[in-house]
A and B are shown apart, each in its own frame.
Chain A
């Protein structure tokens, strides 16, 4: 078990290494960050001075080795645009995104599984059909459009909720969070709904098809024959089997919701990491881009590890590290 965890960690270091190399080369291929960072009023000497100050006049491989050398000591560089350490910049923005992503995934899972179960158990009922129709909508409507519609209806027309921003935050163990204050919660509602919609639909559909499949299985019949109550059949035997694919997808989706919530964050001016990444790409702020992707890779590795461990708990046939 422990060996398995270590092997996974070693793999992730290799992934980090390859990723940083790719990002370095990628940003280099787009262009010289100085061209976009420099003040337009600068003359040629000023531009040369700024290039040298950031070490951008050196050959790419040399820049990369300097980066690796610093990275080994935990220093991922200073943002060109913000003039603060890149890692600190990302960590500063992380709570906002984590809060949004967690809230969205909670809604997706806590609403999606019951709704999906319902639709799977009673596929031909009016409620089942409505749930499925709704999930198709949630699946196919672009996030961008839904976000604007939410703002239009709930903020501009009805005036119930704020249009954008994070609102006031309260500290929970030193981390600023929104959900502890009423005003913060009001700011959280629309972005969360917008971000949750897609995953909610996904979870509903997965749960429904899993349920329908499980209901036809022999073990369900045996359970019934044994005289178990329907609640126990569905709540324990069916649900447990249905959850395996749901956990996989929810895990992967949680990662991408954290890393790439950029559309929602942009529309609602939510000061999270996704917006930071796009802003940084726009000005070729390489230290931030590299640090961001390193953190995202680490996050995905961690989530996948948790997902794998969750499997073995849900399905005792699976042993971590065995099946390849």
Chain B
């Protein structure tokens, strides 16, 4: 497969790049299921929505919050947020954006059957339209995340979307937004066609799209997407396969851009049960206790992993060794933490000290179709563990079988990946003590529990002062990482490739936005 890709790249004889005028054709890597911006909250759908719609708050390339349809926002008191809307913003049908459209959109997220955006709006208990361009939102308890949550709530036109079902979005009837492009056509499994919105509010800042027409082609097979770029049929592609990077970089006709992604890869280790599945001594007898409950064992396993080798060789440089559960640009990243140094001798010493001089046997579970090179990473880590005396049997599954097993607690040591806007959000899902009523620990497969971390997170979520919140989130991150609540491996790096002279400011959130692709 890799060979084949290399052949594809190497074999491309010079072609003439036709001047395509003001049309841009982009190759996307994942299928888009629906045009309804309030249905499934999955990245491919959201990526399309960002072309047609806007949210009150946007994020920049580093995932930091910037003004979107809201010019400014502030906490009036501990439970009230006030948003000032940008004046003079018009929907694609010419009508003006008002606070009513925002209220309608927030309410719609809760009404779409099987919609997933309620998680971003359910905490809002009161909505007050002060005037056409001022809106106050109330929460039951102090909640700092309202501006962040609203980044996920796309604002639709009340006039166009009232009484509209998902089919009306797929057909385009309800696809009336304020975004940089007007919706033209959605051919399921094939493409989305867009046309420039010449009245885009971002145009004043020079952010209007350079393209009159944009075609977002859905090409999930890696070699086919690459072939599309090489044959000149596509102008830009996302998710360039790592194995082909060196050759693409040597191709004088192509530009590549990279940026650390928000997706962090890490390992869960079961810490809440006395006996975890797959753990035994080397003769196959069950262990008297769960070794992962011992901090020294967790640290030993972390030290046994050569992160630099995985990032450099296995990932061809498209990964950065991780010290945090969020990647460096993200809010709440603790810069003082350093990735664990590779030290197999120290790992052996720690294991012996913990009472496992001969190591033990375990099962290392991982996906095989989800993260970049996931299966190979699992194999490499298992070999590194073998060097310190821990025998790890690798078991990989496709995501659809992996997730249900993970949630049921069938793994003792398992790979996972996570992307968040902020450290406190990531920690809340991954390491906070599970508590359904607070929404803590929904993905805490380790069963890690530390009251101090929980308390810091609670304070962070209640703190509307961003500086204080970031400090609290960092403290929680330091505590959890020092405890090896999970073993952080690396942050993925996202890669785009495009024909020269196109340029794109690569994004940590991995979105591919046609209006930000332009000629250099």
Q: Give chain A interface residues in 20-51, CB to chain B under 8 Å.
A: 30-32, 35-50
Q: Give chain A interface residues in 152-179, CB to chain B under 8 Å.
A: 152, 155-157, 159, 162-166
Q: Which residues of B contact A38 (CB under 8 A)?
A: 116
| A182 on the B face (CB < 8 A) | no
| A266 on the B face (CB < 8 A) | yes
Asked if A46 and B233 sit within 8 Å, CB to CB, the answer is no
Q: Which residues of B contact A84 (CB under 8 A)?
A: 34, 166-167, 170
Chain B residue at minimal CB-CB distance from A154: B231
Q: How far is the CB of B83 from chain A (nearest CB, A)?
A: 21
Q: Which of A39, A45, A271, A282 contacts B190 (CB 8 A)?
A: A271
| B289 on the A face (CB < 8 A) | no
| A198 on the B face (CB < 8 A) | no
| A276 on the B face (CB < 8 A) | yes
| A222 on the B face (CB < 8 A) | no
Q: Which residues of B contact A276 (CB under 8 A)?
A: 189
Given contacts A43-B439, A156-B11, is CB(A37)–CB(B40) below 8 Å?
yes
Given contacts A30-B400, A40-B443, A54-B114, is CB(A93)–CB(B188) below 8 Å?
yes
Given contacts A53-B113, A163-B231, is CB(A157)–CB(B439) below 8 Å?
no
Chain B residue at minimal CB-CB distance from A162: B233
Q: In the complex, A58 Cα to B223 Cα: how many Å? A: 42
Q: Which residues of A contact B342 (CB under 8 A)?
A: none
Asked if A36 and B118 sit within 8 Å, CB to CB, the answer is no
Contact with A along B115-150 (1 / 0, CB 8 A): 010111010000000000000000000000000000
Asked if A281 and B233 sit within 8 Å, CB to CB, the answer is no
Q: Which residues of B contact A295 (CB under 8 A)?
A: none
Given contacts A269-B219, A271-B189, is CB(A156)–CB(B12) below 8 Å?
yes
How many chain A residues sit at the interface, stated as a range, is: 35 or more
Asked if B437 and A45 sit within 8 Å, CB to CB, the answer is yes
| B505 on the A face (CB < 8 A) | no
Q: Which residues of B contact A156 (CB under 8 A)?
A: 8, 11-13, 227, 230-231
Given contacts A37-B40, A53-B114, A162-B233, is CB(A155)–CB(B227) below 8 Å?
yes
Asked if A165 and B221 sit within 8 Å, CB to CB, the answer is no
Q: In the complex, A43 Cα to B34 Cα: how many Å? A: 23
Binds A, one of B304-312, B376-384, B401-409: B401-409
Q: How far is the CB of A114 from chain B (nearest CB, A)?
A: 33
Q: Which residues of A contact B217 (CB under 8 A)?
A: 164-165, 269
Q: Which residues of B contact A282 (CB under 8 A)?
A: 369, 398-400
Asked if B224 and A269 sit within 8 Å, CB to CB, the answer is yes
Q: Which residues of A contact B34 (CB under 8 A)?
A: 81-84
Contact with A along B428-447 (1 / 0, CB 8 A): 01000010111110110000
Q: Which residues of B contact A32 (CB under 8 A)?
A: 404, 407
Asked if A148 and B223 sit within 8 Å, CB to CB, the answer is yes
- Number of B residues near A (Cβ < 8 Å) is 65
Q: Which residues of A contact B438 (CB under 8 A)?
A: 43
Chain A residue at minimal CB-CB distance from B12: A156
Asked if B31 and A279 sit within 8 Å, CB to CB, the answer is yes
Q: Which residues of A contact B434 (CB under 8 A)?
A: 44
Q: In the complex, A159 Cα to B217 Cα: how many Å? A: 19
Asked if A267 and B224 sit within 8 Å, CB to CB, the answer is yes
Q: Which residues of B contact A30 (CB under 8 A)?
A: 400-401, 404
Chain A residue at minimal CB-CB distance from B15: A159
| B42 on the A face (CB < 8 A) | yes
Q: In the complex, A83 Cα to B398 Cα: how many Å? A: 23
Q: How far is the CB of B359 from chain A (nearest CB, A)?
A: 32
| B269 on the A face (CB < 8 A) | no
Q: Which residues of B contact A81 (CB under 8 A)?
A: 33-34, 40
Given contacts A30-B401, A84-B170, is CB(A166)–CB(B190) below 8 Å?
yes
Q: In the complex, A275 Cα to B187 Cα: how many Å? A: 14
Given contacts A44-B436, A165-B190, is CB(A159)–CB(B407) below 8 Å?
no
Q: How far is the CB of B497 from chain A (nearest CB, A)?
A: 15
Asked if B114 and A83 sit within 8 Å, CB to CB, the answer is yes
Q: Which residues of A contact B230 (CB under 8 A)?
A: 156
Q: Which of B188, B218, B404 contacts A35 (CB 8 A)?
A: B404
Q: Which residues of A contact B36 (CB under 8 A)?
A: 83
Q: Which of A36, A89, A151, A266 contacts B220 (CB 8 A)?
A: A266
Q: Which residues of B contact A284 (CB under 8 A)?
A: 400
Q: In the complex, A145 Cα to B39 Cα: how many Å? A: 37
| B418 on the A face (CB < 8 A) | yes
| A80 on the B face (CB < 8 A) | yes
Q: Give chain A interface residues in 280-310, CB to chain B under 8 Å.
A: 281-284
Q: In the complex, A234 Cα to B438 Cα: how many Å? A: 81
Asked if B8 and A148 sit within 8 Å, CB to CB, the answer is yes
Asked if A271 and B187 sit within 8 Å, CB to CB, the answer is yes
| B202 on the A face (CB < 8 A) | no
Given contacts A84-B167, A159-B15, A269-B217, is CB(A152)–CB(B8) below 8 Å?
yes
| A92 on the B face (CB < 8 A) | yes
Q: In the complex, A271 Cα to B12 Cα: how many Å? A: 26
Asked if B189 and A275 sit within 8 Å, CB to CB, the answer is yes
Q: Which residues of A contact B439 (CB under 8 A)?
A: 43-46
Q: In the complex, A89 Cα to B189 Cα: how many Å? A: 11
| A268 on the B face (CB < 8 A) | yes
Asked if A41 and B429 sit within 8 Å, CB to CB, the answer is yes
Q: Which of A31, A45, A268, A279 contacts B224 (CB 8 A)?
A: A268
Q: Which of B220, B400, B406, B407 contacts A283 (CB 8 A)?
A: B400
Q: Which residues of A contact B233 (CB under 8 A)?
A: 155, 162-164
Asked if B118 and A46 sit within 8 Å, CB to CB, the answer is yes
Q: Pick the most buried of B15, B31, B218: most chain A CB atoms within 10 A of its CB.
A: B31
Q: In the complex, A50 Cα to B434 Cα: how many Å? A: 19
Q: Which residues of B contact A54 (CB under 8 A)?
A: 114
| B469 on the A face (CB < 8 A) | no
Q: In the complex, A155 Cα to B405 Cα: how many Å? A: 43
Q: In the complex, A177 Cα to B113 Cα: how many Å? A: 33
Q: Which residues of B contact A43 (CB under 8 A)?
A: 119, 429, 436, 438-440, 442
Q: In the complex, A31 Cα to B406 Cα: how many Å? A: 10
Q: In the complex, A279 Cα to B31 Cα: how many Å? A: 8
Q: In the complex, A54 Cα to B40 Cα: how many Å? A: 14
Contact with B along A42-71 (1 / 0, CB 8 A): 111111111001100000000000000000
Q: Which residues of B contact A281 (CB under 8 A)?
A: 400
Q: In the complex, A165 Cα to B420 Cα: how many Å? A: 33
| B191 on the A face (CB < 8 A) | yes
Q: Which residues of A contact B429 (CB under 8 A)?
A: 40-41, 43
Chain B residue at minimal CB-CB distance from A79: B33
Given contacts A30-B404, A92-B188, A284-B400, is CB(A41)–CB(B119) below 8 Å?
yes
Asked if A39 and B41 sit within 8 Å, CB to CB, the answer is yes
Asked if A269 and B400 sit within 8 Å, CB to CB, the answer is no
| B252 on the A face (CB < 8 A) | no
Asked if A40 and B400 sit within 8 Å, CB to CB, the answer is no
A positions within 8 Å CB-CB of B = 30-32, 35-50, 53-54, 80-84, 89, 92-93, 145, 148, 151-152, 155-157, 159, 162-166, 266-269, 271-272, 275-276, 279, 281-284
Given A40-B429, A89-B188, A156-B12, 17 other A-B residues pairs in contact with their CB atoms under 8 A: A30-B401, A31-B403, A35-B407, A36-B400, A38-B116, A43-B439, A46-B122, A49-B118, A83-B33, A151-B227, A159-B232, A165-B190, A166-B187, A267-B223, A267-B224, A268-B224, A272-B189
A-B pairs with beta carbons under 8 Å apart, 5 shown: A31-B403, A36-B403, A83-B36, A83-B166, A283-B400
Closest 6 CB pairs of A and B: A31-B404, A43-B439, A271-B189, A44-B436, A271-B190, A39-B41
